[in-house]
Structure 1
Amino acid sequence: MTFLELPQDPISVAKTKLENNFLDVLKANWTVWPIFQFFNIFFMPIHLRIQFIFNKLYHFLMLYSKYNQLLTRRPLLTNIITTGALFGTGDYLAQKISNGKFDSARLARAMVYGSIIFAPIGTKWYKTLPKFKFPGYNNSFLNALTRVGVDQLVFAPIAIPTYYSVMTVLENPPNLLPTIQSKLNDHWLNTLQTNWLVWPVVQLVNFSLIPLRFQLLFVNLVSIGWNCYLSMALNSSSHLADSEDQILI
């Protein structure tokens, strides 16, 4: 576009525009497009995806604007509704992929956990994380790395047993406490190790590029795929035999 404007020194003008605008535009792109493309890729037939982008983008941006307003006005309530819905979506997709009998009670448990347990804790946690900064340097990347470390070394080891424990309580099996203990013994360490293979990179992108008010939403969207992956792994791995086990960090 700069060359089409035919300025006197197009290379210098293009370089200046890149230096001034590239990072801001890229961050704005990563704020809007991952959500849009998630729905496009997962829910739209291939032959309709381009049409969906051009025809629905305006409506999507309108919804995005409304959602942004809701996050500003009522962040906790908005996160409760959104997180519950996305936890439910993740569990629904995991059940469809497993090709087993659909369990509506399991879906309800996932939505209850997401909205009542994870959303309030996550909202508070992501407001607290910006307080952690790399000592001695005011560098955004080092600060993001520091927050990733705190998140993965403090929050993740607590969130995983919390998830297994609460979901087991909601299921209300016989011998509740031994069942919780068995699930923690069987899955806690494996889940934590798998978490460390996936989430540090995701959270580095999250803390570096995603605005604070959208960070929990970003995590929940990534967690849909994470849930589906773990559900398939749990159905095919002998050391993760319980097909209902899944985890969102």
Structure 2
Amino acid sequence: MNALQRASSKFGAQSPFLRVPRHRRPAVRSQRHSSSTNPGDSPPAKTPGRNSLPPKPQNGIGAGDSAKVEPVDIPIQLWYHRLGPVSTFFSWFHRMQTKRPYTVQLCTTLTTYLCGDLLAQDIGGELYDPNRTLRMLTIGAIAAIPGYKWFLFLGRNFNYSSKVASIATKVTVNQAIFTPVFNSYFFGMQAILTGEGPTGTINRIAATVPVSIVNSLKLWPAVTAFSFWFVPAQYRFMFSGIFAVAWQCYLSFLNRKEEKIEEATDTMSHPVIPAGTNVE
């Protein structure tokens, strides 16, 4: 009987027709029941569930995460490291302008006029004249706050639904009003500080202002449009000051050129005759 049972079980294991399907196989006893039958045995290790994650070591990377981490190529000098001093300067400038706007504008204007005059004197090829630099700084100190107020006025006004129309109007108003007034003030003050009278001051303005207005059309419309389109309001005056260095250099050079013409004209009109010269 035992031999017959062994043969039948062997045949059933090898025949695919007598195998029990997997979904109909009886469930295996859970280890909980087996542990209850053997109270002396230690409890089995807990099987990790589907949502449970393996514990991570102290460095924060688990054993299963090492295969997912891709190498990152970090350059030696990042671009924001290079811009660090620049961003720090702009942050400092913004804080100082918020606290003391007039002081910042005055210092910025004086720096612009100083650099422009030094550059103009170097281009002119003459010996350095400190009185000329002092005149430039005086003119810049007087014009600093009104110029700052003017740019704030342009920023608050002439704002339409079309941004292009707004900026075009600001540029036109700036060229039609501010440029003639400022250039007349600049060359008039230069003449007054050098000792010219009313007639000489008017002649200086008439000789230099039209030429400067025509040449300003080559620079300031583009600078003003870019400033109001891209530059924030608190940085517009400083942004214009970058180009104002070259502009002040040109104005100083043009003013000195006119001074030389006036000096030559005065010399020809009133020639100096050495003492003891016989004039027939």
The two structures have a TM-score, normalised by structure 2, of 0.59
Tell me by how many angstroms 1:224 deviates. 0.9
Tell me by how many angstroms 1:199 deviates. 1.1
Q: What residue is the counterpart of 2:238 in the other structure?
A: 217
1:130 to 125, 141, 155: 155
1:63 to 73, 80, 89: 89
Matched, 1:242 2:256: no
Q: Give the 3 Å change call, closer, same or farther, for CA 163–82 of structure 1 in structure 2.
A: same
- The aligned runs of 1:5-84 (5 Å cut-off) are 57-84=83-110
Q: What residue is the counterpart of 1:88 in the other structure?
A: 114
Write the distance in 2 (CA, Å) between the matches of 1:70 and 1:231.
30
Q: Give the 3 Å change call, closer, same or farther, for CA 229–112 of structure 1 in structure 2.
A: closer
- The aligned runs of 1:83-122 (5 Å cut-off) are 83-115=109-141, 117-122=142-147
Write the distance in 2 (CA, Å) between the matches of 1:109 and 1:128.
28
Q: Is the 8 A contact 2:167 2:225 kept in 1?
A: yes
Which of structures 1 and 2 has the bigger CA Rg? 2
Structure 2: state its 5+ residue gaps. Answer: 1-76, 262-280
Q: Give SS of 2:218's match.
A: helix
Q: Give the 3 Å change call, closer, same or farther, for CA 229–161 of structure 1 in structure 2.
A: closer
Write the distance in 1 (CA, Å) between the matches of 2:87 and 2:130.
32
Name the count of aligned residue pairs: 184
Tell me by how many angstroms 1:223 deviates. 1.3
Tell me by how many angstroms 1:83 deviates. 0.6
Q: What residue is the counterpart of 1:199 in the other structure?
A: 220
* Structure 1 ranges of 4+ moved more than 6 A: 53-56
Q: Give SS of 1:101's match.
A: coil
Q: Is the 8 A contact 1:133 1:146 kept in 2?
A: yes
2:210 to 163, 178, 189: 189
Structure 1: state its 5+ residue gaps. Answer: 1-50, 245-249
Q: Is the 8 A contact 2:212 2:251 kept in 1?
A: no
Matched, 1:139 2:185: no
Write the distance in 2 (CA, Å) between the matches of 1:234 and 1:133.
33
Percent of counterpart pairs with the same letter?
A: 23
User: Residue deviations 1:8-64, cap 9 Å, x none?
Assistant: xxxxxxxxxxxxxxxxxxxxxxxxxxxxxxxxxxxxxxxxxxx9x998742333222
| Aligned-partner residue type, residue 175 of structure 2 | Q
The two structures have a TM-score, normalised by structure 1, of 0.66
| Aligned-partner residue type, residue 123 of structure 1 | Y
